[in-house]
Amino acid sequence: MEIANTVDASRITLSELMLPSHSNFSGKIHGGYLLKLMDQIAFACASKYSGCYCVTASVDTVDFLNPVDVGELVTLKASVNYVGKTSMVVGIRVTSEHIQTGVKKHCNSSYFTMVAKDEFGNNVNVPKLIISNMEEVRRFYDSINRIENKKRTKEIENNFDHKSKEALENLKKYNVVISDKIF
């Protein structure tokens, strides 16, 4: 019998009040603190889904869209969007809410690739994903596209000759000064 799990079985929500100890000098919450919370919820989501200990393999694009202030309630929502053989892509949405006014802001969204491990640290297979609606289909395909784009970018990077005369000349159109020592 094949093991499979639903997206709903992976859903996790985490809310935390932002304290002065989480802030930088301008009174905004440190991006690193938010990343820590995102990593924690990605771990919880992937572990809940797979039934295994999971580790973070990569984090795709974290754009901080709106700052978070001290005293706001931050809510992170996570679910598994894609599964491979041993890996899962966890989608995370972060919002903040001003407790007195009820105004909510979308702070960021990100995608964490998590890998399931056994007690010896070996990769283990994860359950197949049961997709139940068109939104889950869209998220699965979006994950496939991000994975394929990442592979293409890596291939281009591996084949690019940054030492070529053409590559060095191309740098002149950017905000850089090329030292004579390079040539």
Distance CA 38, CA 95 (A): 12
Q: What would the two tokens of residue 139 be?
A: 């998220």
pTM for this entry: 0.89
Long-range contacts of 141-146 (CB under 8 A, 24+ apart): 142/81, 143/81, 143/82, 143/89, 143/91, 143/111, 144/82, 146/60, 146/89, 146/111
| Topology classification of domain 4-182 | Thiol Ester Dehydrase; Chain A (3.10.129)
Q: What would the two tokens of residue 138 be?
A: 């869209």
Position 183 scores a pLDDT of: 66
Of 84, 146, 72, nearest to 109 (Cα)? 146
Q: Which helix (H) or strand (E) holds 168?
A: helix 165-170
In order along its 183 residues, the chain shows pLDDT tens digits of: 679 999 999 999 999 999 999 999 888 999 999 999 999 999 999 999 999 999 999 999 899 999 999 999 999 999 999 999 999 999 999 999 999 999 999 999 999 999 999 999 999 999 999 999 999 999 999 999 999 999 999 999 999 888 888 888 888 889 988 887 876
Position 117 scores a pLDDT of: 98
Residue 116 contacts residue 43 (beta carbons within 8 Å): no
Domain boundaries, the chain: 4-182
**Backbone φ, ψ for residue 45 (5° rounding):** -65, -50
Compute the chain's Rg from CA coordinates.
Answer: 20
Distance CA 76, CA 167 (A): 42
